[in-house]
Amino acid sequence: MSKMKHNRERIHWVFQRISGLQLLICFGIHVWVFFFKLERPISLDGLQVIFSHPEWIVFYTIFIALAIYHGFSGLWTVLTDENPSKTYKKVWKIILFVSAILLISITLWNLILLGAL
Amino acid sequence: MKEKTYKLSVFRFDPFVDTKHRFINYKVPGSKAKTVLDALLFIRDHIDGTLAFRASCTQGRCGSCAMHINGKYGLACETPLRAGKTTIRPLAQLPIIKDLMVDMERFWEKYESIKPYLVRHSGEARQSYTNRKEMDSMIDCILCGACFSACMMTGMNPDFHGPAAYVTLNRFLRDERDAIHDQRMELVTGENGVFRCHSMYNCNDACPKNVKPSENILEIKKNIV
Amino acid sequence: MKKYDLIIVGGGMAGLRAAIEAVKQNLHVAVISKVHPLRSHSVAASGGLNAVIPQKDIKKKNIDSIEKHFQDSMKCGYNASDPDALQTLVSRAPGKIKELERWGCLFSREKDNSIAVRTMGAASFPRTVYSSDKTGHAIMNTLYGQCIRLRQNKPDLLRFYDEWFVHKLLVYNNVVSGVIALEIATGKMEVFTAKAVIWASGGSGKVFGNTSNPLTNSGWGLAVPLYAGAPLRDMEFIQFHPTQLSRSHVLITEAARGEGAILLNRKGERFLESYSDSKDKKELSARDIVSRNIQREILAGRGVDASCVYLDLRGLGSRKIKKQLPGVRELCKTYANLDPIRQKIPVTPGQHYIIGGISTNEKTQTEIEGFFAAGECACAGVHGTNRMGGNSLMETLVFGEISAQSAGSYIRQKHHRLPNKLFFENAYAEEKNKLQILLKTNGEVKPAEIRAKMNNAMDEFAGIYRDGMGLVEAGQIIKELKTTYMTNMLVQGKDARANYGLIEAIELKGSLDIADIIIQCALKRKESIGVHFRNDFPITKGRPRYSLVKVKKGKIKIRHIAIHIRNKPLIALFSDLRLLKK
């Protein structure tokens, strides 16, 4: 009966670690892009060249989604650590979830705009 | 020759009388005390008989005298006195009964909640030599409570089991004869369970017996995943 | 007022074992302990416990048997053991190991998964089961785990009262009716009524200064039953362990010598070879012989630092020390600042075990009806006049179990009527009054000073070597201290709440009385046998007798009674002689 709940805790912990690892890899690629692939000095045009390729848009979408997931699930852990009451937790859950979705969609929108320009 | 004296600053608090704790300074002659516990006993015997603290074996085996000494958790009977002032505080996170004596109720309750006993499969399987050897590192825990006090999470979450309980849990999870492996896992996978530990390694620092609770908790996590 | 079927006083190994057995018999049990059970000094037991376990090599001609365990123990105790009690111990021992094994106790193992055994002093075979050198710790955790299990399954049957200090044993018309205890944290006194009481309070070593016993073993545990009318037995027999770290009195287990450590004097000689009684077995001679010879060596001026000899573990090699004796290494590092792998350990003999105690039979019954005693505080005569290393842990388990069985059948057999309420009320008022008087004392001498003087007197005059003159002097000192205690003592805390100073003051009375009894018994026994050695009477006289102490109207009365020897064990005693002739 309580298996569901326990599973969630477990999955949460595992994904936190996996997303962390992937973030590291993505960040490596990101650094590589900025140091070696972009022409100096960095300009909007240079960026546009990169973002006109769909694979980079996909890459950055994943990167940003991961980062936001990792950050917000971290925040959620901090929240559970504080051992709050159930209603308090519910409210925060909704706030965190909505703001995470909002953040992801805003950044995605911006990326697409950047590519389309 | 002038005799060496040690200076101690001891936490005093009586919840029935005092509104605020205070630190009182004592001087203990060097010939009478080698360890912090010797000094505390000297204070109780010869200076102030009202000082309350627990002590029993004086050999670092029973775990009664865990306290906070000069910024570090440890057993008073194992900590040698040093020149300069020694500041002594009780274990944190637990309610104070008087002075250095704290109410360990919650600690024991958590320890007992993880079922610290073997439930066998039917039949009387022998433990193997290799399985027994794996346990050498985790059976030294004397349940003094130092790790429990040092842990951040036990302070924030009263339902968190605490490092000492997890060491014992890991000992039973690793035992090849144990039949309630899954049940034990259930107990600690919940919201207040093992995932509340963020590997801050405070427990490892605090442990006077070098049991390394953090490593044990990591093992449990791996085991669960 | 709290009502129980059975009250167990003491949460050490004997107490916990009794509790487990009592719950299995469906008794309503309370365990009252001065400290949390896992803080009892049983956790410090290191060497191991003796039991004959099935031999691997059955084809071998010379194999260990229960009979040989019996003979070794008997010989070690100079034939002064009670044969019935000893027979019970050795025959039930193997079962106890099996039981602990079933409960998951982490014994050390051989490579073929069998339980490992080592040789202790005076044993003719390796038969000491151990868990590196933390055997007590392993067993205590197992037993306490079982108690928790029982409590989780049957929550209304078992209740622990941790940090409750038993103040009085209630006896009405020679039938036990409960105890009065003081909760240390709150200073509150409470009456516990019971149909039976099991006493498992452990040792009383703090009567001596030079002891490996904890602060809690004050002597009060023996004094309370004595005040209630239970006679004590064999109180002159105090075992001195040969190897304690100098100054800090931390015990270095006999297992060290069992694993091959040797004793050296200042010149680096293995001096045990030069004494006739320890020539054969050397370091593995009985404890009394090794202690005496170390003391002799020190007195002859061949010791180190005036009061020590060296225990040399270097021959064992670092791997063996790390595997078999990690605790010894840890203790040496902490308390003597040396590493036994490379350095010799300075050791000195010190008080270790009180062989005497509350007089019981092999069923743990005492002279008071419904009052049972087990463990170090009891004396069924198992150890005779000298205890064999490893027998005492086994004693706690065997007699702990038996005591609960005896108590169970006693409770079921008889129709029990508790004395009327007035009796309890009076007793409560009396004890409360005593406490108030102690709290009001406003003399000049602190309890610790009295204890220090008592310890000095006992160390000096009632130690390994005793003589009449010294014992009389010690008796005089104790008498003076008793007067000081009654007239001129100071208890600083005026509130019973969490007042360890008060507990110390209460216990001191017991300590003084027990010290007095030890001295009187030692004076009365004008011979040397086992651990009791009188310089003025260095030989053993006639048949072994045990001594029985009663206190009547404040006067100590000691009788010597010849030990009843049954025919069967007697045959067992000499059977190895007959084997030799064949």
Domain ranges of chain C: 2-237+355-413, 242-349, 421-529
Which residue in C271, B118, C323, C27 sits closest to C8, CA to CA?
Answer: C27
Strand partners, C437: none
CA distance B74 to B85: 17
State whether residue C266 is helix, strand or coil.
coil
Residue of B nearest to C108 (CA): B132
Tell me, what CATH number does A72's domain have? 1.20.1300.10
- As a whole number of angstroms, the distance between CA A88 and CA B87 comes to 40
Query: How confident is the model over C556-576, as a mean pLDDT?
Result: 66
Residues 6 or more apart whose CB falls under 8 angstroms from that of C349 comprise C240, C241, C242, C243, C244, C291, C294, C295, C464
**B82/chain C closest Cα distance in angstroms:** 14
Per-residue pLDDT at C576 exceeds 50: no
Range of the domain at A92: 3-116
Token pair 């029973």 in the structure block, residue: B62
Instruction: Give dist(CA A28, CA C86) in Å, integer.
Output: 75
pLDDT, residue A5, reads 52
Residue C241 designated active-site? yes
The token duo for B103 is 């109410």
pLDDT band per the 50, 70, 90 thresholds, residue B222: confident
Least confident among A78-87, B19-28, B167-176: A78-87
Q: With pLDDT > 70 as the criterion, what percentage of chain B qualifies?
A: 99
Confirm if C198 and C32 have CB atoms less than 8 A apart.
no
A81 contact residues in B (CB cutoff 8 A): 153, 156-157, 196, 198
Which of the following CATH numbers is that of domain B105-224: 3.40.50.10470, 1.10.1060.10, 3.40.718.10, 3.60.20.10? 1.10.1060.10
Three-state DSSP state, C81: coil
- Chains B, A in contact, 3 or more Cβ pairs below 8 Å: yes
Q: What average pLDDT does range C341-357 have in this prediction? A: 94
> What homologous superfamily does CATH list for C2-237+355-413?
FAD/NAD(P)-binding domain (3.50.50.60)
Q: With contact defined as beta carbons under 8 Å apart, do C442 and C490 qualify? A: yes
Is residue C568 very low, low, confident or very high in pLDDT (cuts 50, 70, 90)? very low
Q: Using CB atoms and an 8 Å cut-off, which of residues 112-141 of chain B contact chain C?
A: 112, 115-120, 124, 126-129, 132, 135-136, 139-140
Question: Residue C420 corresponds to which tokens in the numbers above?
Answer: 């009327």
Q: Where are the domains of chain B?
A: 5-102, 105-224
Distance of CA C532 to the CA centre of its chain: 16
**What is the SS3 assignment for B156?**
helix
What sign has the CA pseudo-torsion C408, C410, C414, C419?
negative
Neighbouring C-beta atoms of residue A108, cutoff 10 Å: 15
CA A65/CA A75 separation, integer angstroms? 15
pLDDT at C312: 94
Is the pLDDT at C163 greater than 70, yes or no? yes
Q: What is the pLDDT of residue A34?
A: 80
Check residue C60 and give its pLDDT. 66
Q: What CATH number was assigned to the domain covering residues C421-529?
A: 1.20.58.100
| Average confidence (pLDDT) over B141-156 | 93
Q: Measured between CB atoms, does A81 come within 8 Å of chain B?
A: yes
- B58/C214 CB distance under 8 A: yes
- Cα distance between residue C428 and residue C190, in whole Å: 8
pLDDT of residue C578: 40
As for how many domains chain A has, the answer is 1
pLDDT tens-digit profile of B14-24?
999 999 999 99
Give the mean pLDDT of chain B: 91
Which listed CATH number (3.10.20.30, 3.90.1150.10, 3.10.105.10, 1.20.120.450) goes with B5-102?
3.10.20.30
CATH of domain C242-349: 3.90.700.10
